[in-house]
Amino acid sequence: MRESQPKTAEDLFNFLDGLGIEHKTKNHAPVFTVAESVALRDEMPGGHTKNLFVKDKKDNYFLLTVEEHATVDLKTVHQVIGAASKVSFGKPEKLMEYLGVIPGAVTAFAAINDTGGNVKVILDEALMTFDIVNCHPLSNDATTSIASKDLLRFMEATGHEPLVLKVTA
């Protein structure tokens, strides 16, 4: 179980500042799906993300961060990410326990809450070709832009080996 409260957006921004990572955030109405967030595209250049919190039969958890329009084949992705079996979506309780976010607010930045190293973070190769990556800052009522190379630095600083793999079709 989690010893402390999940980090806030302010905690995240302070962490990024401490790493010397430039970031820019735009507040907006809460969005729960990629379709709802499309209106932001003209205002925010770069790759926009879709995040899948999945687990295998041995209760190994994975966070897949991919470009918003990418397709992930859940029947075969386990072979790429090193899962013990085919994957299914993780339960909201585990999402909150491990990543400190609710469904609809899943983000690569949630790695900051995974202090126990319970989740393997996978960044899709196609997403990482963008100079700028846009992710929710731990809630779905804002979007934060950072350089893709800085997303890798962020992952390392949270204790996660940033695995950049081709997980999309």
Residue 37 pLDDT level (bands cut at 50, 70, 90)? low
Residues 124 and 80: beta-carbon distance below 8 Å: no
pLDDT of 34: 66
Q: What does the pLDDT read at residue 2?
A: 45
What pLDDT sits at residue 64? 97
pLDDT at residue 169 in the model: 77
**Whole-structure pTM value:** 0.92
Closest of 3, 56, 21, 2 to residue 155, by C-alpha: 21
Q: What three-state secondary structure class fits 120?
A: strand
Q: Do 117 and 128 meet the contact criterion of CB atoms below 8 Å apart? A: no
Percentage of the chain modeled with pLDDT above 70 = 92
Average pLDDT taken over every residue of the chain? 92
pLDDT at 43: 72
Would you call 108 helix, strand, or coil by DSSP? helix
Q: Count CB-CB contacts under 10 A for residue 8.
A: 13
What are the tokens at 22? 């430039």
pLDDT tens-digit map of 126-146: 999 999 999 999 998 999 999
What's residue 41's pLDDT?
66
- Give mean pLDDT, residues 80-102: 97
Determine the pLDDT at residue 38.
Answer: 66
Distance CA 107, CA 23 (A): 15
Tokens found for residue 81? 């990410």
Average pLDDT over residues 115-132: 97
Indicate if the pLDDT at residue 40 is higher than 70.
no
E strand residue ranges, the chain? 24-27, 47-55, 61-67, 88-89, 119-124, 132-135, 142-147, 163-165
Kindly report, residue by residue over 2-31, the tens digit of the pLDDT: 457 899 999 999 999 999 999 999 998 887
Average pLDDT in the 46-52 region? 93
